[in-house]
Structure formats: structure tokens, C-alpha cells
Amino acid sequence: MAVYTEVSDVELSTFMASYDLGELLSFKGIAEGVENTNYIVHATRGPFILTLYEKRVAHDDLPFFLGLMEHLASRGVSCPIPIRDLEGRNLRELAGRAAAIVTFLEGFWIRRPTPMHCTAVGRALAEMHLGGEGFALKRANTLGPAGWRPLYKHFANRTEEISAGLEQLIESELDVLDAGWPTGLVEGVIHADLFPDNVFFLGNQLSGLIDFYFACTDALAYDIAVCLNAWCFEQDASFNITKGRAFLRGYEDVRPLTNAEREAMPMLARGAAMRFLLTRAYDWLNTPPSTLVSPKNPAEYVRQLRFHQGVRSIADYGVGERAK
């Protein structure tokens, strides 16, 4: 179970007394958290999610994350909403950690997405991008291109422990990305980590988006590229063009891509694959065996990156060349 910080009944009862949520009835750790400690808290006024922010989340970024969820919810985007205490604060401290309570979002994440799910995610992502307009705070993408080489340097001398030839692949690909990374694209708030476990469904209906703790200000099309990697590959790392087409058409039903975004998509998808290859490789090599969370195998993103290297246009992801 991914509960890094234990909270006692007394501590939580005292903490909850500062909110207008009624009496604390029960609470339980949530096993699927990776970056933070999460509890589901049952109170008189309903279920809520309590998050304690661990060391990998910078405290200075928390006003951006919490403010963004409030902003998106006010614009009609279905996502958890931070609860403010009796003094109007949405960020507190509990058990020595920064902590927040957010509304409980009904639903489950889909283990085996279908094209129908991909269409819904495309629409939801575009709605989130439009909903983020007007959000006053900015946050740089710390895991964007500028951060890839510094991250790689932390484990470059151990790369071959993962697979033979990986060092050469990463170094040559970083050169390509440095030289060809697109600029001048439409920017705004992006989720930057919209994997299936961060999207909830009730039946066949998308019920909301969660886990905004990698959100930042960057090219909107980069967020699309992250989702192509996260939603449109099969377990054998083959690209499912039917899912790609469904996702992109769902997105463009809400927000049509510009010609520049379409032309940039192959390079953006390569970069998104590199980002997750690097973070997974780092965790694979640096996570102690006794940890509460098993690191994800980076090999998946090696295969996806090699696919993107052969892509010549957005048509290879399932849609035509030109903007509508």
C-alpha cells in the first residue's frame, strides 16, 4: 500500500474539526498513490480524499495545483475540488506534511481502453485545455525538454543495466529532440500525466480527471502527445491507429488543432515518449527493493519511442494532414 505517512485517529479528528464537513466516521489508505499519501475519508457530509504531499512534490507548487483544480471546476471541468477550511484555507499541515482535502470523484479507471474511451478522453482533454484559459498562475514544465538531460545524467552510467543499447538510443534521441523541438505552439495549462489511471469512468461515461500534480504551463499539443503514448498503444507496444483516430477526433470535436500543431505532432510524441522513458528508467534504477511502490518497466517506452521515430506525419496517428 502506497501510504508513506501514517495518520492517527486523533490527528485526523483534530484536523477535520477545522472544516465544515461534519464528524469523522472512518478513513482508509488508498493503495494506488505513487507520489503522495492518499486516504479516503468518510465524514458526516460524505466521502472526501485527503492528500499528504510527500517530498517529491515541491511545496511552492501546491498553490498552482490546488488553484488550478478550483479554476477548472468553476469552468465546468469535472475534477476534484479542494475544500477550504473555516478560515478559507485550501492547504494545511498534517503529520508533518502539507495536506489538503478534495471532493470525492465517483468512478473507476479503465484497464483496457477501447476507441470509445479514447474519444471521451480526447474530448475531456480539449475541454480541460479550454477550461484552463484565464488561470492566472504559471508553472514551468520541470519535466520538459530542458529537464531531460539533467535527469539523464543522474543515471547515464547505469543505463546498460536496463537494456543493451539503451545508452546510445537515449543520447542520440536527445540530440534529435534538442535540434528539432517545436516552438511557437499554442500554450496553456496542460495536465502532463493523463494516463488511464488518472481518468475515471462510470459505465461508459467519463466522470472526471484526477491527479493534477504534474500540471504546468506548456504547449497544449504536447499534452495530446502524452495521451497518444498513454492511451493508444497495446500491451505489446504496437500503436493502435483506431484508438489514435478516436482520440484525436474526440479532441478536435472540441478544439481543432492548428496546422503547426499537426506538423509538430511526431516530434512531440517522440519527446513525450522520451520523458516517460527517462523518469521510468530513473525510478527503475533508484527505487529501493523495500519501497511501497513497484517502479514501472521503462522498456515499454523504448518500444514506443522506436515507433515514433518512424512516424512522418500526424496521419500515422489516424487523422489527415491539414487543420479543419
What CATH number is associated with residue 75? 3.30.200.20
Write the pLDDT tens digit of every residue in 185-223.
Answer: 999 999 999 999 999 999 999 999 999 999 999 999 999
Q: Are residues 143 and 210 in the same domain?
A: yes
- Whole-prediction pTM: 0.94
Q: Which residues form the domain of 214?
A: 115-317
In a domain, 323, yes or no: no
Cell matching residue 51: 492528500
Q: Are residues 99 and 149 in the same domain?
A: no
Residue with cell 471546476: 73
Boundary (domain end) residue, out of 103, 134, 153? 103
Boundary (domain end) residue, out of 39, 74, 103? 103
Q: Are residues 287 and 158 in the same domain?
A: yes
User: Domain with 251 in it: what CATH number?
Assistant: 3.90.1200.10
Q: Are residues 130 and 91 in the same domain?
A: no
Write the pLDDT tens digit of every residue in 10-69.
Answer: 999 999 999 999 999 999 998 765 678 999 999 999 999 999 998 878 899 999 999 999
In a domain, 199, yes or no: yes
Q: Are residues 261 and 187 in the same domain?
A: yes
Q: Are residues 235 and 122 in the same domain?
A: yes
Instruction: Give residue 321's pLDDT.
Output: 56
Q: Are residues 145 and 89 in the same domain?
A: no
pLDDT value at 132 more than 90: yes
Strand duo 92-94 + 37-43: pairing: unpaired
Q: Are residues 247 and 122 in the same domain?
A: yes
Quote the CA–CA distance of 313 and 284 in Å, as a whole number.
32
Q: Are residues 149 and 45 in the same domain?
A: no
DSSP per residue over 12-77, as a string? HHHHHTTSSS--EEEEEE-TT-SSSEEEEEEETTEEEEEEE--TTS-GGGHHHHHHHHHHHHHTT-
In a domain, 110, yes or no: no
Q: Are residues 51 and 128 in the same domain?
A: no
Average pLDDT over residues 241-264: 97
In a domain, 324, yes or no: no
Q: Are residues 141 and 283 in the same domain?
A: yes
Calculate helix-pair angle for 115-131, 220-231, nearest 10 degrees.
160
Boundary (domain end) residue, out of 61, 80, 103? 103
pLDDT value at 2 more than 60: no
Instruction: Give residue 3's pLDDT.
Output: 61
Q: Are residues 289 and 310 in the same domain?
A: yes
Number of domains the chain contains: 2
Across all residues in the chain, what is the average pLDDT?
A: 93
